Amino acid sequence: MRRLRKVKIVATLGPASNTYEMIRTLHEAGADVFRLNMSHGTHDDITKMHRLIRQVEKDLDSPIAILADLQGPKLRVGEFANKEEELEWGETFRLDLDPAPGTKKRVCLPHPEIFAALGVGAHLLVNDGKIRLRVEECGKDFANCVVEAGGTISNRKGVNVPDVLLPLAALSEKDRKDLEFAAALGVDWLALSFVQRPEDVIEARKLADGRAAILSKIEKPSAVKSFAEILEVSDGVMVARGDLGVELPVHSVPPIQKQLIRMCRKAGKPVIVATQMLESMIESPMPTRAEVSDVATAIYEGADAVMLSAESAAGQYPVEAVTTMNNTAIAVENDPTYTEVMEASRNIDKKSIADGIVAAAREIAESGNIKVICCFTSSGTTVAKVARERPRVPIIAMTSLRGTARRLSLTWGVNCVMTGELERFKQAVVNAARAARAQGYAGTEDQIVVTAGVPFNMPGTTNILRVAPCNERLIYTTDPE
């Protein structure tokens, strides 16, 4: 399905959007990737939504990526005798391993690994950072704290520990089961929560065993510090601004977002900007102007995708939310400033023949009257390199592998078209011309750029660039076999 924009839209499915009719409507409105949140719903629920997405994909003949988002370890306090207590600034409060019901002075924190990592001066944030505690004294089974920001603390509220690297794996036992289930089901991307170090990603990749691409969620300060190493072992990244804004000062999140996007662009790996992008549309059919500006900013920065969470999963206006993102993206990308920003921020190290070919493809397309760049690919690597160039013209990814087409649905500017296995380059050029015409990118009088690797169907062999006519008769009379 041809889009009139290059940035992609990720929509989370949930109670408001778990029917065939709604999933199809969301895809037609602009959703390119559907996110399945493993924190909510049973495996039966996830299986049903996966089946419905694949049915929509088949009916519309349009590759769709499915992203399974793993929950990650959840750190929570225990329960209170009175269900909740009010903590005041300057008071002392104790966290310990005692399972007895909590009081105004203490509560159980059933995570000995936290106490093992804490030091004096470290902070603990409770209930999405609304309550802030500073450690005054600690041991292997307790932490005596002073309240720096008070509020209501109640049963099972979440805890964040921003100042230390926790000796916790990114994958809990539940996550391991969910990962195996999702990979066996056939999702295209696995989003890994609670990433702190590259080893977390390596472990998930080993468990996935090539069945799905790994996307690292950057939501902890330790992940920001180790981002270069994490990016190197990841297939993609999600800038999870919600948790980042809890564990880091909120004013530090915008520059971090910009830095991470630029690093992902340089590496040629897709990056999603997520969390609270159109939050008010959970209950309102219209977004705020600030929210639209937030979406636009992520697009101007060069993000591959922007994401809806509760807006499409549980909100009252999921279609309107997708439509708002779609229209915002079109408006931004039609602004000449957007093209200037993309070209000014291009920062690519050319280290291979494929790097040189895709750079030449972009330059030829932009300097001549070329309508589209068509890339034949088996792994998707060359297409990612073309997208990294942020060309002014559209990109068509031609592949015989459905899984590759689906994964590329997350990559900036890429429109995926299925093709049969090829043996001759001339037939590849003919197929590219047909796809360009069928998708409405070019007519018979136009020219296209074609990149491919010979021999075909071997990853990493991109070695041909061809400027070709869209007129098949001219291809057959001028092109080599």
From first to last of its 481 residues, what are the pLDDT tens digits of the chain?
Answer: 789 999 999 999 999 999 999 999 999 999 999 999 999 889 999 999 999 999 999 999 999 999 999 999 989 999 999 999 999 999 999 999 999 999 999 999 999 999 999 999 999 999 989 999 999 999 999 999 999 999 999 999 999 999 888 988 899 999 999 999 999 999 999 999 999 999 999 999 999 999 999 999 999 999 999 999 999 999 999 999 988 999 999 999 999 999 999 999 999 999 999 999 999 999 999 999 999 999 999 999 999 999 999 999 999 999 999 999 999 999 999 999 999 999 998 887 777 888 899 999 999 999 988 999 999 999 999 999 999 999 999 999 999 999 999 999 999 999 999 998 887 888 899 999 999 999 999 999 999 999 988 777 777 678 889 999 999 888 877 655 5
Q: Are 72 and 218 in contact (CB under 8 A)?
A: no
Q: Which residues pair with 149 in a beta bridge?
A: 132
3-state secondary structure of 375: strand
Looking at the annotation, which residues are catalytic?
35, 76, 217, 275
Q: pTM for the whole thing?
A: 0.93
Instruction: Examine residue 455 and say whether the peptide bond preceding it is cis (omega within 30 degrees of 0).
Output: yes
CA distance 80 to 99: 10
CA distance 107 to 95: 5
Looking at residue 409, the DSSP 8-state letter turns out to be G
Q: Are 264 and 231 in contact (CB under 8 A)?
A: yes
Q: What's the token pair of residue 76?
A: 């929570």
Q: Which residues pair with 10 in a beta bridge?
A: 33, 307
Q: What's the token pair of residue 57?
A: 């994909």
3-state secondary structure of 135: strand
CA distance 201 to 191: 10
Give 259's contacts (C-beta < 8 A, 6+ positions apart): none
pLDDT of residue 479: 59
pLDDT of residue 423: 76
Place of tokens 């080893």: 199
Give 61's contacts (C-beta < 8 A, 6+ positions apart): none
CB 192: neighbour CB atoms within 10 A? Answer: 25
Q: Are 88 and 150 in contact (CB under 8 A)?
A: yes
* H or E stretch covering 330: helix 318-333
